[in-house]
Amino acid sequence: MSATPQNFPSPDYQALFESAPGLYLVLTPSLTIVGASDAYLHATMTKREQILGRGIFDVFPDNPDDPHADGVRNLRASLNRVLRDRTSDAMPVQKYDIRRPASEGGGFEERFWSPVNSPVCGKNGELLYIIHCVEDVTEFVRLRQLGNEQQKIADALQMKADRMEAQVFAQEKQLEEANRRRLESIGRLAGGVAHDFNNLLGVILGCAQLLEDERSDPENTGRLLGQIKQATENAASLTRQLLAYSLQQVLEPQVLDLNSVVQKIEPLLRRLIGEHIQIHAKLDPQIGLTKADPGQLEQVIMNLAINARDAMPNGGKLFLETSNIDADEAYVRQHATVTPGPYVMLSVSDTGSGMESATLERIFEPFFTTKDRHRGTGLGLATVYGILKQSGGYVWVYSELGMGTVFKIYLPRTAESPAASAPATETSAGRGTETVLLVEDQTLLRKVVVSMLENEGYRVLSAEDSERGLELARAHDGGIDLLITDVILPGMNGRVLAEQVKLARPGTKVLFVSGYTENIVTHHGQLDVGGGFLQKPFSYEALRQKVREILDHA
């Protein structure tokens, strides 16, 4: 060990210095350690005899495992300032790792210090020593780092909470907007129904009053009755469209070839849209089969063709194309309304005026139309949407202003085989002779239907509700060939009534009539095999044919 300078304090003063509570080193101007407090030795895990007489940077080097260590460089710069200026130099907090003794496992321990280097000068101003005083602030720095980490976590959580709040707010706004548009759609639907039905009822009421007026010209009777009939048929058509939109139509699906539907309706389309529009059909000869109601598919194609015609008042081209589509995930991403699976696809496109995005977002809403009210009801595309949805299919549309419009109809492919055509059932041409039990809770309609049936020669038993109808079925002496019942009745519904009547009289056939099915007569929109179905409102001829069809069927 090197000897200390002769002018170092006496042993008594040295003992006092070494026992001081602070962390001190005494350095010579050559930066050799000549004194150390016990507290400093304890903090740096060193022993006095190991460090006295050695250079400070030999005893306390940088951590070689820390490529960013700069403790030696910073301390050297501070000590050089003291040597040069003979003034104290307070350093900012330094990361200066301490080497552990071998007994403690070796290596370096991360430490943080707040150093102050102060000169000790003689009477003539010469520099005798440098007091290197440090405060170990490791725990404080670690707590601050922990606080910073916790603050980072808190900030991250706050940012996440802010994002979630923003997402919830955006979803709430979207929901509010969806509800607003839904209410607008419902209001437009109610207003459109009221408007159209009021007009039709006005025609019917006006014609009926003219027929009652004694001053009415008898020669006008046929014309007035024709207007009443036309208004009623228009009302029935409107009802069917509303049922299609609300997914409440009764469908009669069958396995079919989509090409055959297009080929059947194409001649009618040519007459409907006019010679100024060219029709080009490209039908895939290998098209797969689907299961749908052919009459409803014809309605879909008809409505889309009419829309295309109205978009091409000065002429253009209408393209009909069929193909098989295997919709994978990539295809679905481009056609968001479609789910993955095998489909047959019908594309109906035109070279017309096209639509802007705001219109595209609303085209399937009922009674939304860009046409004059005299040219359209606003139910055409709503009907298309409802028919396809009820059939398990999808509709996708793309349009740009001035570029035309493309509708793509997707129907699930099926592996079923087409059913063999049943031989036509002969229907009696003469008057009826059978007994019919009619159950209808609407008094006026019940009286009209009774008159229609009696006019055809049937014997009619009528009841205003299911309980009375069941009583008649059980009490009647003769046979009952046919039960005609409304679906929605007070108390027991029409389906339950039919089951009870067939228990009492197994040979009785059934005809359900309704303007609203609620899936009571149907299962997933398909006719129940236990009875026929006639949609309200129905004509005299439709009733006559349906009754004979059921009675004559084996």
| Token pair belonging to 189 | 């639907």
pLDDT in tens, 295-334: 778 888 888 888 888 888 888 888 999 998 887 777 767 6
pLDDT over 60 at 349, yes or no = yes
In terms of Cα–Cα distance, which of 485, 470, 550 is closest to 520?
Answer: 485
C-beta atoms surrounding 241 within 10 Å = 22
pLDDT in tens, 402-432: 888 888 888 888 888 776 554 545 555 557 8
- The pair phi, psi for residue 511, each rounded to 5°, is -130, 115
Q: What is the mean pLDDT of residues 516-528?
A: 49
- For residues 464 and 476, what is the distance between their CA atoms, to the nearest angstrom? 16
Annotated domain spans of the chain: 11-136, 152-245, 254-414, 435-552
Residue type for 452, please? M
Q: Is the peptide bond prior to 267 cis by the omega test (within 30 degrees of 0)?
A: no
Residue type for 5, please? P
Element (H, E) at 506: none
In terms of Cα–Cα distance, which of 369, 547, 337 is closest to 458?
Answer: 547
Q: Is it true that domain 11-136 has CATH number 3.30.360.10?
A: no
Given pLDDT bands bounded at 50, 70 and 90, which one contains residue 462? very high
- Same CATH topology for 152-245 and 254-414: the answer is no
Contact 37, 56 (CB under 8 A): no
Given pLDDT bands bounded at 50, 70 and 90, which one contains residue 72? very high
Return the CATH fold of 435-552.
Answer: Rossmann fold (3.40.50)
| Token pair belonging to 515 | 């303007």
Please state which CATH class domain 254-414 belongs to: alpha beta
The β-bridge partners of 134 are 23, 115
User: For 152-245, CATH number?
Assistant: 1.10.287
Cα distance from N-terminal residue to C-terminal residue, the chain: 125
Tell me which of 293-302, 491-500, 524-533, 537-546 is least confident: 524-533
Using CA atoms, how far residue 244 sits from 120, 240, 383, in Å, is 102, 6, 5
Contact 438, 463 (CB under 8 A): yes
pTM confidence score: 0.45
Cβ burial 458-487 (10 Å sphere, 16+ → b, else e): bebbbbbbbeebbebbeeeeeebbbbbbbb
